[in-house]
Structure 1
Amino acid sequence: MIGSDVVSCLRLSLAAAVTALSVGLSGCTGFSFTVDGLLNAPKLTEEQGEIHEALTAAVGGSVTLKYPRNGDNRSAFVIGNLDGDPGKEALVFYEYNTGAGSDNGIRVNLLDKDENGKWFSVKELAGAGTEVDRVIIAQMGEKNRYNVLVGYQSVTGTDCALEIYSCYDGDFKRVGTDTYSVLDTLDINYDGYREIVTIQRQTNSETNATSAKASLLDMSADNELVRTEGIDMCSNVVNYVNTCSGLLNKQHEAIFIDGMNSDGNLQTEIVYYRYSSLQNPMQLSPQKLLPLCTRPSGYYSTDVDDDGIVEIPSVKPMTGYENAITDEMVYMTTWNVYKDFFDLTEKYHGYYSISNGYFFAFPNRWNDQVTIKREPDMSELVFYKYSGDINSSNTEIMRIAAVSRKDSESYADDGYKLIASKGQLDYYVKLPEDKREQLILTIDEVKNNFFIVG
């Protein structure tokens, strides 16, 4: 089965370095970055080094590896059983440096092993853009066969080009092409296979109006690319900037699509499968649902508490900030879950630090009783008992600090307690020594209400 082989090979150590340089944008207008220097830190694995050596020998010059900007597979090397025969193959994405190739552009090369276990180039194809957006291994048509879907970004336009490759029967070829604004895979109709879901935007040449439609993508028995189960998306979205796949509830898998609307705010749409067809409740009931999930940029849908169910954020001014100007505004974030029948229900509310990657849920006894102030360096957040005016609220309840691992020791020496860690970032809390104030939490309450996001 390709599932275990490919998954184990695709989640390579290079993904961490690329992720640190890219934003989790899932459309084709994602954050730009260069990959110069990534080959040195971290270094290629031994197997990747062998493949890279065979590639450069085959093309007759040096190449620059091209790393996907989005999706789960962030390596320039796709290694796994791609053709169904015993043994592994490799796809590599790159562009030529001087001394190789007569023109610019991304290339994708299939490599295999000979009878002596040495890698060699089977065939090279030209890609369809200037950057790789994402790489997906998916079952299409015959369910015992896998195809490689590659999305390419271009410097012009907001849609990505999709190319679908087959590695079977000793050949490496392009078997389908398309475009997309959003591309993802999930078992949306719970049949045991992961379906390909795309969103395409189209502009009416006469009215210049833009519309978008979500649909399922598959291969017919004749190896033709087919779209089924189309459903309309909301008409006021200018660009899609983030997608998140997960559970809508304990039964349905769904895609949560965050789009920038014409007012410059984010809004979320949900695409899932029910009643034998795709559903988008936000498009079916926009007057009720869109106001509940529209918020400023940066607040993306995600699985906050790692229970598999995706939450949708909404914001309102934090207690005491109701009349604050935009530059001084602090928001209370509410994370909502879709409960079916056009109902968004609150799951948590509290403070979400986008820059420091955490959310702290307010306990019920804090409602309208606690507010926050940020320290000037933005790394520390102080919670205060609200006295009716933000400026006169000076009774400290708690403070949370997000600090680099190398600076952690000084916080521990100053009475802070470590509550969580992620990567090179440590999260500390400091509680007042005088516990007579009922709003002060225990350390266990703090840990239970603290979530690392992303």
Structure 2
Amino acid sequence: MRLKITALTLALLLLTGCAAYNDVETLLRAPQLSGESAALQKALNSYLGGSATLKYPASGDFLSPFAFGDWDGDGTNEAAVLYTADTTSSNVFLAVLEPSGEDSWHVSQTIEGLSSEVETFSAAHLRDATSQQILAGYGSAQGDRYLVVYEYDGTNLNTIISNRYSEMVLGDFTGKGDTQDLVLALPTDTEYGGVTLQLLTNVEGEFRSYQTLNLGEGSYSGCAALSAGQGRDDAMYLVMDAWSGSNSLVSDIILYDSETGFLQPYHPPGLSDPQRSTLRYHTELLSRDIDGNGTVD
């Protein structure tokens, strides 16, 4: 009887061991793509004549190597894929693919990025209400960050903006309604510090730099975060969290003045010194829309 029990116990242990081994092997195995994603990688590999390594961005609208949108405004969604290939440089590449039938794609254009890592991957209506432009933020080993805005016109994939930056935010700050604006916080390079904000917007059909606004010269040492929200009058506003010294944060509110046509610092009624009122030493206390109601907290 004891021999039977021992044999049964050993058999169960062996089966459990096999199951555990299989579970570990399953976890270690690279995830398999399915459906549309698999078709995209198949088309990309065929175009490259080899195997592409997909690159995952750290943040943005797309937390996947694959993005879908109507890049050229023709009414049909295209795809964009982030990848590296063994036969090319270590930099990330961006490929735009067009649909060519049911579950079938072909590569239309590729372009080389600025580094081996993608920090953010998004899309926005920057030039008009139909086409979307692709935004990719690249980080370098030296700590520099570069934002590139790509435009695809159905034939060519071009860089329309390439800027060094520290933070970025999208929003309809100028009130156009059908397009979005881009605000970049530029790196602080002067001995006096401060933060320079750059507004890029659609001007007569061309997306370009429109204004720079200098804030906190002599007080700020850099930008910690940019957030966009809506006020009670439904106007879009910008909140900038800035470093004040090495271990404290303050906030500025910036609004677009339709009369002057420029972004300007805004002081809410009864708040004469927003920086002093928002001073905090817990550096994780960044401005953000905590409850998802469209306003910045």
TM > 0.5 between the two? yes
Deviation at 1:168, TM superposition (A): 0.9
Residues 442-453 of structure 1: pairs in structure 2 closer than 5 A: none
Contact between 1:182 and 1:200, CA under 8 Å: does it hold in 2?
yes
* Alignment partner, residue 97 of structure 2: 111
The one of 141, 146, 151 aligned to 2:137: 151
Equivalent position of 1:228 in the other structure: 210
Query: How far does residue 250 in structure 1 lie from its aligned partner after superposition?
Result: 4.4
Q: How many angstroms apart in 1 are the aligned matches of 2:215 and 2:36?
A: 44
Q: In structure 2, what is the equivalent of residue 178 of structure 1?
A: 163
Alignment-derived partner of residue 77 in structure 2 = 88
Per-residue deviation at 1:126?
A: 0.6
Q: Aligned ranges for residues 145-294 of structure 1 at < 5 Å?
A: 145-158=131-144, 160-192=145-177, 193-204=179-190, 208-218=191-201, 226-235=208-217, 236-276=219-259, 277-281=262-266, 288-294=273-279
Residues 58, 274 of structure 1: CA spacing in aligned structure 2 closer, same or farther, 3 A cutoff?
same
SS in 2 for 1:294: coil
The aligned residue for residue 59 of structure 2 is 70
**Is 1:120 paired with 2:106?**
yes
In the alignment, is the contact (CA less than 8 A) between 2:174 and 2:258 conserved in 1? no
Paired residue secondary structure (2:93): strand
> What amino acid maps onto 2:112 in structure 1?
A
Provide, for residues 96-142 of structure 1, a one-character-per-residue CA deviation record: whole Å limited to 9, x for no partner.
2xxx3242111111111225652122222110123212233233345
Q: Partners of 2:184 and 2:33 in 1: how far apart? A: 33
Identity of aligned residues (%): 22
What letter corresponds to residue 68 of structure 2 in structure 1? I
> In 2, distance between residues paired with 1:180 and 1:113?
34
Matches within 5 A, 1:287-302: 288-295=273-280, 296-302=282-288
3-state secondary structure, aligned to 2:221? strand
- Shift of residue 238 of structure 1? 2.9
SS in 2 for 1:82: coil
Q: Tell me: CA distance 1:115–1:64, structure 2 relative to 1, closer, same or farther (3 Å).
A: closer
Instruction: Summarize the alignment of residues 366-385 of structure 1 with structure 2, pairs less than 5 Å apart.
Output: none
- Name the TM-score, length of structure 2 as normaliser: 0.77
Considering Cα pairs closer than 8 Å and 6+ residues apart, tell me whether 1 or 2 has the greater RCO.
2
- CA-to-partner distance for each residue in 1:170-193, whole Å, 9 max, x for gaps? 222223322222222111122213
For the aligned residues, what is the CA RMSD? 3.0
Q: How far apart, CA to CA, are the structure 2 residues paired with 1:162 and 1:301?
A: 22
Residue 289 of structure 2 corresponds to: 303
Cα distance change of structure 1 residues 76 and 299 upon mapping to structure 2, 3 Å threshold: same
Equivalent positions of 1:341-352 (< 5 A) are: none
Structure 2, unpaired ranges of 5+:
1-26
Q: Once the 2 structures are TM-superposed, how far is the Cα of residue 152 of structure 1 from its aligned partner? A: 1.3
Q: Which consecutive residues of structure 1, in runs of 5 or more, have no partner in the other structure? A: 1-35, 312-454
Matching residue of 2:23: none
How far is the alpha carbon of 1:289 from its aligned partner? Answer: 1.7
Distance 1:309 1:222, change over 3 A: closer
Q: Structure 1's 103 and 307: CA in aligned 2 closer, same or farther, altered over 3 A?
A: closer
Deviation at 1:275, TM superposition (A): 4.7
The 8 Å contact of residues 65 and 93 in structure 1, kept in 2 or not, is answered as: yes
What TM-score comes out, normalization by structure 1 length?
0.52
SS in 1 for 2:274: helix
Q: Is the 8 A contact 1:201 1:211 kept in 2?
A: no
Q: Hey, what's the Cα distance between the residues in 2 that align with 1:289 and 1:166?
A: 39
Equivalent in 27, 40, 50 of residue 39 of structure 2: 50
Shift of the 141–307 alpha-carbon distance from structure 1 to 2, 3 Å rule, reads closer
| Alignment check: 8 A CA contact 2:60 2:121 kept | yes
The answer as to whether partners of 1:129 and 1:161 remain within 8 angstroms in 2 is: no
